[in-house]
């Protein structure tokens, strides 16, 4: 990348240097001469007698005459037309005509020497094309590494909870018809039975030998207990 930028900068600098080395076109010029021959019976004259130039042209008068001369505008404001001297052979005078029009002039020393300059509007100069910058060399674009597209997460379908099952309505128990109680039929009254009363027998006591044996056993146990207590003391 840096090498490509450096190359582009060098090419641009070369183009600018080439544009700067082009010669700048000089302002257009035209020439008139003061001569002593071929003047139609006059000793001196301007040749050519009429010049046609475009605005911005510089006219140079050169003297080939041995006599001094002037180039004086007939009816020009100061600085608005030619007004200079030609001292002798080889001398020159120049003036640049900026505006369009016809400028008549004469020699103040030899009034018969006359001339004119017709100035036309200058054609619009075509604009100088700007130097074209050479295109930069194409820069290799980095190859994009294909990236696998992320997989969308698996969609887990969540079943909507089943609506609660309504408890079956329990029908209220049907009211059972309450049977009215039937009054019992009157039972026949029986005549009370007469039970003969038997006199209770007197309880019979234990036989006498059993009583005597029991008393003897109790006496022996009591004597044993008494002896046991004494022996402990």
Token look-up 């082009």 returns: 22
Q: How far apart are CA 46 and CA 65, in angstroms?
A: 10
Which of 120, 206, 141 is CA-nearest to residue 4? 141
Q: What is the pLDDT of residues 98-133, one digit of tens each?
A: 999 999 999 999 999 999 999 999 766 555 666 667
Query: Phi then psi for 83, rounded to 5 degrees?
Result: -160, 85
pLDDT at residue 216, rounded to an integer: 77
pLDDT band at 16 (very low <50, low <70, confident <90, very high): low
> Is the residue at 50 inside a domain?
yes
> Is the residue at 163 inside a domain?
no
Q: What is the pLDDT of residues 40-67, one digit of tens each?
A: 999 999 999 999 999 999 999 999 999 9
pLDDT band at 213 (very low <50, low <70, confident <90, very high): confident
Q: How far apart are CA 29 and CA 31, in angstroms?
A: 7
Q: Give the lowest-confidence range in 4-8, 28-32, 61-65, 184-188.
A: 184-188
Whether residue 201 is predicted with pLDDT greater than 70 in this model: the reply is: no
Residue 71 has, within 13 A of its CA and on its CB side, a CA count of 29
> Is the residue at 79 inside a domain?
yes
Residue length of the chain: 233
CATH number (domain holding residue 62): 2.60.40.420
- Dihedral angle of Cα 4, 7, 8, 12, to the nearest 10 degrees: 170
Q: How far apart are CA 124 and CA 5, in angstroms?
A: 39
Q: What is the pLDDT of residues 130-157, one digit of tens each?
A: 666 766 766 667 666 666 666 655 555 5
Whether residue 229 is predicted with pLDDT greater than 70 in this model: the reply is: yes
Token look-up 């060399």 returns: 137
Q: What angle do CA 139, 143, 147 make, to 5 degrees?
A: 150
The two tokens of residue 154 are: 């698996």
Domain that holds residue 34: 29-120
> Is the residue at 11 inside a domain?
no
pLDDT at residue 223, rounded to an integer: 83
The distance between the two most distant Cα atoms of the chain, rounded to a whole number of Å, is: 224
Cβ atoms 106, 45 nearer than 8 A? no
What is the CB neighbour count within 10 angstroms for residue 97?
23
Q: How far apart are CA 233 and CA 225, in angstroms?
A: 13
Query: Phi then psi for 12, rounded to 5 degrees?
Result: -65, -40
- Radius of gyration in angstroms for the set of CA atoms belonging to the chain, rounded to a whole number: 80
> Is the residue at 108 inside a domain?
yes
Q: How far apart are CA 27 and CA 53, in angstroms?
A: 12
pLDDT at residue 21, rounded to an integer: 47
The two tokens of residue 79 are: 């600085």
> Is the residue at 103 inside a domain?
yes
> Is the residue at 220 inside a domain?
no
Q: How far apart are CA 229 and CA 110, in angstroms?
A: 201
> Is the residue at 53 inside a domain?
yes
Domain count, the chain: 1
Task: Give the rounded percent of residues in the chain with a pLDDT score beyond 70.
Answer: 51
């Amino acid at each position: 990348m840096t090498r490509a930028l450096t190359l582009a900068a060098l090419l641009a600098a070369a183009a600018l240097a080439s544009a700067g080395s082009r010669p700048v076109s000089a302002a257009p010029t035209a020439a008139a001469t003061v001569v002593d021959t071929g003047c139609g019976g006059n000793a001196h004259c301007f040749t050519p007698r009429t010049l046609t130039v475009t605005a911005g042209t510089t006219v140079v008068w050169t003297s080939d005459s041995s006599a001094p001369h002037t180039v004086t505008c007939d009816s020009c404001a100061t600085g608005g037309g030619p007004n200079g001297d030609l001292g002798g052979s080889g001398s020159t005078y120049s003036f640049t005509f900026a505006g369009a029009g016809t400028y008549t002039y004469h020699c103040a020393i030899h009034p018969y020497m006359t001339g004119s300059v017709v100035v036309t509007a200058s054609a619009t100069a075509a604009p100088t094309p700007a130097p074209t910058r050479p295109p930069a060399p194409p820069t290799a674009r980095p190859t994009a590494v294909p990236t696998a597209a992320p997989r969308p997460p698996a969609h887990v379908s969540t079943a909507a909870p089943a609506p609660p099952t309504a408890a079956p309505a329990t029908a209220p128990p049907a009211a059972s018809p309450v049977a009215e109680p039937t009054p019992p039929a009157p039972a026949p009254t029986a005549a009370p039975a007469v039970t003969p009363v038997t006199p209770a027998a007197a309880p019979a006591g234990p036989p006498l030998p059993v009583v005597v044996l029991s008393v003897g056993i109790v006496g022996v146990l009591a004597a044993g207990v008494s002896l046991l207590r004494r022996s402990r003391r």
